[in-house]
Amino acid sequence: MASTKRIVLIVGGGIAAYKCLDLIRRLRERGYGVRAIMTRAAHEFVTPLSVGALTNERVFTELFDLDDEREIGHIRLARDADLIIVAPATADLIAKMATGQANDLATAVLLATDKPIVVAPAMNPRMWLHPATRRNVAQIVADGATLVGPGIGEMAERGEAGPGRLAETTELIAAIEQRLASAGDGSGTTHGKPLTGRHVLVTSGPTHEPVDPVRYIANRSSGKQGHEIAAAAQRLGARVTLITGPVAIEPPGGVRIVRVITADEMLNAVHAALPADIAVFAAAVADWRMAKLASGKIKKPSSGEPPTIKLAENQDILKSIGQLPLGRPQLVIGFAAETDNLLANAQKKLKSKGADWIVANDVSTVTGVMGGDTNTVHIVSGDGVSSWPRMSKAEVAEKLMHNAATAIAAGPNARQTAAE
C-alpha cells in the first residue's frame, strides 16, 4: 500500500534539518513517494541538491516560480499529496501555521491543503516552553495537525538541554503511517479505533527521589497499570506518549517512551508532551524530595542517633495539568492510591486537582495491588462514583480507555457520565 502513497515533506530552517535526509531515505525504502519543499532558512542547513538526490524529485523552494505557477504549483503540491509532514517545524513556522500566513511556498501549501498534516517540532527548550509557542501549538492541533515530539535531551547548543529535539525517524514514520491509516479511503471511518487521531499522554511507575549518591525515596509501584493503559490507548488508535519512572517491565510497543527518574523530571516531561486530548496520571509520584541533596553518602553518626533529613514538597503534576489555563487536555484522569478513606480522599482529590475523573484504588498491603496483576477501582467524577468489579489491570485499562474515547467524542458535557 505504501507504494501508492505520496508524501510532501516541508523542511524548516533548524539545525535538525539534516535529519530530514534520513527520513527521506527511510520513507523511500518503504515505498513512499516523497516531494520536498524547503524554506529559505532550511538552505542554511541542508542543500536542495542533497535533498533532491534522495527524493529523486525536484526540490521546491519558491512560491513565485514562473514555470510552476503557470499551473498554480502550490495548489498542485497541496492536493497531489496523501499527507504533508513538517520536519523540522521551527517556532517561526508553527507561528505562521497558527495564524494562517501564506507568504512563502511552505505556508501557502499548508494553508491550501485538505490532506493530513503531521508536525514535528524542533527548537531550543526555552522557545518550546514559551507561552507564545504553547498557544501556537495548541492552535495547530485544534486545527487538525498531528504533533510528533519533541524529544527531551541535549541540544546542539552547548550546555542546553530539555524538550525540543526532533523526534526520531522511527517515531515520525510511525506517526505518518498511523495518520495515513486513519485517513483510510476518505469515508471518515476509524475502523473500530475510536481514538484514531487523538494524542493520549500517560504517566506510569514510581519516581525515585535521591537522598544521597546511593540512596533514594521511592514506592512500590510496578508501573503495570499505567503501561496497560498506554497499550490500550494505542490499540484504540491513539498516538501515545508514555512517561515512565524506573520500572522493571517492558514498555508496550507502538508508543513513544519518555523515561524519567525524579518527580521534577516527570513534571517537565509532561508539560513538554502537551498538547494532548487525554492525559492519564497513573504514576505514583513521590510527594517529597530532599530539601538539599547530600553530596556524599550519609554516614552513621558516631552518637548512634539516626541522621535528620529535611524534605521539600514536589510540585503536583496532576494539579498543574488539571488547572492549566491554556492547552488543558479535554479529559484529565488522575489516580488516587489510598490505604484509608478511599472514596472520601478520591472525591477531595477530584476537586482540589481540577481532574475530570479520579480512578481510586485501595493499595493497602492486603489487596496486593502494588506489583500485582489485578485491580479493583472506583471511578469518581462530578456525577458520582462508579465501582467496577475486580479485573485484571489489562481489563481495567481497556474499559477506562473505551470510556475515555466515548467521553471526548461526546464533548465536555458528557465527561462526567461516561465513566460508568
> SS3 of 27, please?
helix
CA 403, CA 395: separation in Å to the nearest integer?
Answer: 12
CA 220, CA 337: separation in Å to the nearest integer?
Answer: 11
Please state the φ and ψ torsions of residue 16, each to the nearest 5 degrees.
-75, 0
CA 101, CA 110: separation in Å to the nearest integer?
Answer: 9
> SS3 of 268, please?
helix
CA 240, CA 227: separation in Å to the nearest integer?
Answer: 11
Tell me the C-alpha to C-alpha distance, in Å, between residue 113 and each of 24, 109, 117, 175, 217: 21, 6, 9, 19, 52
Helical axes 48-55 vs 19-29, angle rounded to 10°: 10
CA 62, CA 45: separation in Å to the nearest integer?
Answer: 17
CA 305, CA 40: separation in Å to the nearest integer?
Answer: 68
Closest CA to 285 of 353, 370, 218: 218
Handedness of CA 161, 165, 170, 176 (dihedral sign): positive
CA 253, CA 40: separation in Å to the nearest integer?
Answer: 38
Please state the φ and ψ torsions of residue 99, each to the nearest 5 degrees.
-100, 5
Contacts 24+ apart (CB under 8 A), 254-257: 254/174, 255/230, 255/231, 256/149, 256/167, 256/171
Contacts of 26 (CB under 8 A, 6+ apart): 169, 173
Catalytically active residues, by annotation: 219
Q: Are strands 6-11 and 33-38 parallel, antiparallel or unpaired?
A: parallel
The alpha helices in 118-198, defined as continuous H runs, are 125-129, 131-142, 169-183
